[in-house]
Amino acid sequence: MAPLGQVDHDNIERKLKDVVQELYQIMVQVSTYDAMGRSSRDVLTNEMPSTPQPRPQPAPLGAPELLAYVENGRNPDIYTREFVETVRRGNQLLKGKLHAFGSFRDVLAAEMAAAMPELRQDVDRGEGGAAEAGASGVAPPRAQDAAAAATAPGPSAPTPTPTPAPSSGA
């Protein structure tokens, strides 16, 4: 290591004298503490900002798992490939769930519209139409299919019987 120059030596000596002077002032303030005067805490906070602050440790440049992987002598490319495969599996699972729930929503809406025609407007509004079809990847049932299912007699949907109108005179 090269010896320090005169300028560096003078700079360090001046800073060291400043620190000693600040510590001396703090000692005097603490020893002559007056309960009725200015609080020592205020004096300390006014004196301390001039002391040099330690520098924070830099954040690691990569994921801790990756750093541990490399420290164990393994190839970081393998870690990256495994990470991408894990993320891809999770994305495929999530896409499958979204598709399944979209299909379930459409089937449930069609069955509700067929079983309870009075709720057809609410069911159609709840389906979301084409806006949600792009998000879920599942197209909603066409209106003609839902109408045909609602009017077709079948074992699951009984045909409604007309009710007589109440008589107005009695």
* Residue 163 structure tokens: 């009710």
Q: pLDDT at position 5, please?
A: 57
pLDDT of residue 87: 96
Q: Is the Cβ–Cβ distance between 107 and 140 less than 8 Å?
A: no
33 plus 79 within the same structural domain: no
109 plus 135 within the same structural domain: yes
Q: Is 10 helix (H, G, I), strand (E, B) or coil?
A: helix
Q: What is the pLDDT at residue 111?
A: 92
pLDDT at residue 98, as a whole number: 96
- CA-CA distance, 67 to 42, in Å (whole number)? 45
For 32-59, write each residue's pLDDT tens digit. Answer: 766 556 666 676 677 666 666 666 777 6
Any domain includes 3: no
Best CA proximity match to 112, nearest among 102, 103, 124, 100 = 124
Closest CA to 149 of 111, 121, 118: 111
pTM for the whole thing? Answer: 0.36
44 and 114 both lie in a single domain: no
| One domain, residues 41 and 73 | no
Quote the tokens at residue 62. 């990569």
Host domain of residue 30: 17-50
Query: Going by C-beta distance under 8 Å and a sequence separation of 6 or more, which residues neighbour residue 149?
Result: 110, 113, 114, 157
Q: Do both 88 and 111 map to the same domain?
A: yes
Please write down the long-range contacts of 93-97, taking CB distance under 8 Å and 24 or more positions apart. 95/137
Say if 90 falls within a structural domain.
yes
Q: Encoding tokens for residue 117?
A: 């025609």
Domain total in the chain? 2
pLDDT of residue 165: 52
pLDDT of residue 33: 67
- The stretches in the chain having pLDDT less than 50 are 1, 130-160, 170
